[in-house]
Amino acid sequence: MLRYIRKNSNLNENNNNLSEIIDKIKSGDNELRDKFIEDYKPFILSCASKAMKKYLEVENSEEFSIAMIAFNEAINYFDKSRKSHFLSFSELVIKRRLINYRKVESKNSNIYPFSYFGENEDNNLESSMTEECIKLNFTQFEAREEIIVFTQRLGEFGITLNDLIKKSPKHNDSKKMMIEIARIIAENDYLYEKLIRKMRIPMPELISHIKVNKRTVERNKKYIIAACIVLRSDLDIIKEFLKD
């Protein structure tokens, strides 16, 4: 069941398959959970070795044990509705767990490794990380994923993140005005579709909708386009920043 996913895994192609397997595991299929973790041992070992910056042995390795537990935790907390990739998410969880472990080992932190807590009979681990920290880690992962998508969409218009930093309005009032202009475009299907089709702000049609200085729009066009992309997207984390 898992072999064809495990070898030469492609995140874009196989994430749906992995999500289906994880759904079954979460529904209580512990036998599938054990097989899934066993099949992904090479992946877990690779992530752990990368995080610790050294080759790890499977046997008698505290770091590998922690990575195994972290992978299991990633199964428990993975949310496919966020449109993220399970393998990327699990690698992040493994990395953070091992970083915490390394801090403990160097006596610079009071965070305990997973092995301190052990496992229960169902192989469902009691995590040392609080629910709030789990959500924070997941949010950080999601933010990174959203930035990648956002950067790609900007690139379609020939805009970079560096452009936004340089071309962003300096004053809050100006930013609010540009966001309101972007909102007018984003909420109007005709204007937005023309923006997407022509890859530029539909100036004549926009001016017919609102009284706005053409030069002002032209000077801030990259910022307005970026705001339009966010407002019409499912980039919820970036959208919250825009609201703030």
pLDDT in 10s for each residue of the chain, 244 residues: 344 344 334 444 466 788 889 999 999 999 999 999 999 999 999 999 988 888 888 877 889 999 999 999 889 888 877 767 888 888 888 988 888 777 776 654 444 444 333 334 333 333 434 444 444 455 555 667 778 888 888 999 999 988 888 878 888 888 899 999 999 999 999 999 999 999 999 999 998 888 888 899 999 999 999 999 999 988 877 887 777 6
The gap between the terminal CA atoms of the chain, to the nearest Å, is: 46
Amino acid at 222: K
Amino acid at 58: V
Can you give the pTM of this predicted structure?
0.48
Cβ atoms within 10 Å of 132's Cβ, excluding its own = 8
pLDDT in the model for residue 210: 84
| Beta-carbon contacts of residue 175 (< 8 Å; ≥ 6 apart) | 168, 169, 223
pLDDT in the model for residue 60: 77
CA distances from 190 to 13, 62, 184, 203 (A): 33, 59, 11, 13
pLDDT in the model for residue 56: 85
CA distances from 83 to 4, 40, 47, 91, 149 (A): 22, 21, 22, 16, 11
pLDDT in the model for residue 119: 39
Q: Name beta bridge partners: 125.
A: 119
Quote the tokens at residue 58: 């499977």
Quote the tokens at residue 184: 């007018």
Whether 90 and 74 have beta carbons less than 8 Å apart is answered as yes
